Amino acid sequence: MNAPPNTPPTGIVYIVGAGPGDRKLITLKGIECLQRADVVIYDLLLNDTLLEHCPPHTEKIQAPDPRVRTTRQAELNRMLVEHAKSDKIVVRLKGGDPCIFGRGGEEAVALTEAGIPFEVVPGITSAIAAAAYAGIPVTHRGYASSVAFVTGHSAALHPDSNINWAQLATAVDTLVVYMGVAHLRQITKRLIAHGRNPDTPVSLVRVGTTPQQLVIQGTLDNIVQKAAAAQLKSPAIIVVGEVNRLRQQLRWFDTKPLFGKRILVTRARAQASEFADLLETNGADVLQFPTIEIRPLQLDSTYTQSINEYDWIIFTSVNAVEIFYGHLRKEGKDVRAFGGTKICAVGPKTVAALNSIGIHPDFVPSHARGSTIAAEIEDVCRKKIFLPRAKIATAALPEGLRERGAHVDDVPLYDTVKVASDSDKGRDAIETDLLNGSIDFVTFTSSSTVTNFLEMFPTQTPAALLKSVQVAVIGPETQKTAIAHGVQVDVIAKQATIESLVEAITKYGST
């Protein structure tokens, strides 16, 4: 049934501040808006990982580049109105806060004039966040009790500008200038000319809150020369005031052990988030480039029907626990199906996965090697053992168990298959970064990540592809595979866990 011609649109626009760069600085409400969005119109400099919060059907549109198209704002306003009139939930995703030099107010006016409902979702602005990540509080008792945010765009320096530089120069303790790096010389001269002490401390914070953050400090009198020597370019904020003296005492972000290190993660995307989070917590810039995908295989129902007839079940991974338990649940069963069968869990993550479904393992081996598991597990002679695991798993474990007299059903439960890169362009960009040394570490968390990764770059030999980076692996089996392909391994985890791998990378990267 068609709506009456005068029915107002049911679409709505959310003008959302995405924060200054760190993907975790977006608000919960901002994420909720993205999760509901039919259309997202996002700014050029945004952390595009935020778009992963969108549902699959979301149309993602990059906003016109203001450096190229002077009609950008009129185009944006029109796009917002048109999509909302199509009864869509539209998110206008903007860097920082939409209403602090973000032109969010202009977009809201255009929506109001078109009769489109909207909401503004504030974001953390770079003046506060970038300064804080640099160890500079914009206010601090004894240093600053007032702060002003000012645009440093060229229009702000025109004689007819409505910015009163004469009074602003000395009216506030801390002055934060946005978009002013290109006009740094004029800004400092103007502040000094209107009474600000030339010895006033100044900080330039480039791409603040990201692992590429760069901080340059000086005074009004010499910051121009220091910026030129460092070849500093936008985007950056300018912080003027005595609060800059606190940086050496309060800096915390750029002192992290892996700060600025670019680390490539090759494990399956569904499993990479925890690994990436641990690396980022230590200051790393993480590039996710999944090379494998976990695909469950068909399982003969005989195994789920008679699981309690086995003496032992050995779970060697979280995937094995989750996938096998999923098969049980599909058949209306739960952990009671295991009966009196003993459970072996390899590694703390596998133990935790079993704990989450109410199972406490009877045995946990000291290492994840197949030979170690087979040697340490007790009382297996003439016992029946169920071993659900990856299709490509090595034969060391079942062979070791059989040598001790066990009857082993080694059952493929899932496969690790190679996935194509997101695009040839993305793969080519990774290849370029590897060859020119702009990636510091490549990580491998299984043998399949090694082989699949190398197969994705057929024009390069492994030695040539990885000659300028450090290679970190999760355990001896992965190390053997890497070495067999001619890859030099620089870092190996003491235990086969991502926590141990991160610890090893951190120790190596800090030396």
Q: What is the pLDDT of residue 229?
A: 97
- Given a contact cutoff of 8 angstroms between Cβ atoms, the answer to whether 409 and 398 are in contact is no
* pLDDT category of residue 157 using cuts at 50, 70 and 90: confident
Residue 394, judged by CB atoms within 10 A of its CB (0-12, 13-18, 19+), counts as middle
Cα pseudo-dihedral 112, 115, 121, 126, rounded to 10 = -40
User: Would the CA dihedral through 309, 310, 314, 317 be positive or negative?
Assistant: negative
As a whole number, mean pLDDT of residues 159-171 equals 87
- 376 with 365: CB under 8 angstroms? yes
Q: What span, in angstroms and rounded, lies between the C-alpha atoms of 115 and 33?
A: 20
Per-residue pLDDT at 67: 63
Cβ(311)–Cβ(404) under 8 Å? no
Share of the chain above pLDDT 70, in %: 95
Least confident of 190-194, 212-216, 422-426: 422-426
Q: Report the range of poorest mean pLDDT among 25-29, 331-335, 506-510.
A: 506-510
Is the pLDDT score of 3 beyond 50? no
Tokens of 368: 């994840």
Phi, psi of 369 (to 5 degrees): -65, 140
195: left (phi over 0), alpha (psi -120 to 50) or beta: left
Q: CA-to-CA distance for 394 and 184, rounded, in angstroms?
A: 61
- Give 240-279 pLDDT, tens digit per residue: 999 999 999 999 999 999 999 999 999 877 677 889 999 9
Looking at residue 495, its pLDDT comes to 86
CA distance 396 to 394: 6
**Hey, what are 488's tokens?**
């030099």
Residue identified by tokens 């953390």 is 124
Going by C-beta distance under 8 Å and a sequence separation of 6 or more, which residues neighbour residue 162?
none
DSSP state of 238: E
Query: How far apart are the C-alpha atoms of 218 and 228, rounded to whole Å?
Result: 12
Residue 316 has pLDDT above 90, yes or no: yes
Structure tokens at 231: 């070849």
Using the structure block, give the residue that is written with the tokens 């869990």: 345
The answer to whether the beta carbons of residues 63 and 94 sit under 8 Å apart is: no
Residue 345 and residue 286: Cα distance in Å, rounded?
30
pLDDT digit string, tens, across residues 24-61: 999 999 999 999 999 999 998 888 889 999 999 999 99
Contacts of 443 (CB under 8 A, 6+ apart): 263, 264, 265, 266, 267, 275, 472, 473, 474, 501, 505
- The 10s digit of each residue's pLDDT in 431-448 is 999 999 999 999 999 888
The 3-state secondary structure of 109-147 reads: HHHHHCCCCEEEECCCCHHHHHHHHCCCCCCECCCECCE
Please, are residues 414 and 388 in contact by the beta-carbon 8 Å criterion?
no
What pLDDT is recorded for position 349? 87
Q: Specify the DSSP element, H or E, that contains 36.
A: helix 28-36
What pLDDT, on a 0 to 100 scale, did the predictor assign at position 154? 74
Mean pLDDT taken over the chain: 91
**Minimum mean pLDDT range among 110-114, 269-273, 281-285:** 269-273
Q: Which two tokens stand for residue 139?
A: 């206010």
Residue 28 burial by Cβ neighbours in a 10 Å radius (0-12, 13-18, 19+): exposed
Buried-exposed string 204-234: b where 16+ CB fall within 10 A, e elsewhere: bbbbbbbbebbbbbbbbeebbeebeeeebee
Element at 73 (helix H, strand E):
helix 72-85
Residue 69's pLDDT is what? 59
- What average pLDDT does range 82-98 have in this prediction? 96
**According to the model, what pLDDT value does residue 383 have?**
93
pTM of the model: 0.81
Lowest mean pLDDT among 178-192, 230-244, 407-421: 407-421
Tokens at 74, concatenated: 């009129």
The CA R_g of the chain, rounded to the nearest whole Å, is 29
> What would the pLDDT profile of 400-434 be if each residue is shown by its tens digit?
999 999 999 999 999 888 776 555 668 899 999 99
Query: How far, in Å, CA of 159 to CA of 163, rounded?
Result: 9
pLDDT at 185 over 50: yes
In angstroms, the CA 496 to CA 4 distance is 64
| Domains of the chain, earliest start first | 12-124 (3.40.1010.10), 128-250 (3.30.950.10), 262-291+419-509 (3.40.50.10090), 295-415 (3.40.50.10090)
- Other C-beta atoms lying within 10 Å of the C-beta of residue 290: 21
CA–CA separation, 251 and 253 (whole Å): 6
Specify the pLDDT at position 274.
85
Q: Which range has the top average pLDDT, 7-21, 56-70, 161-175, 188-202?
A: 188-202
Query: 13, 92 in Cβ contact below 8 A?
Result: yes
Given a contact cutoff of 8 angstroms between Cβ atoms, the answer to whether 204 and 238 are in contact is yes
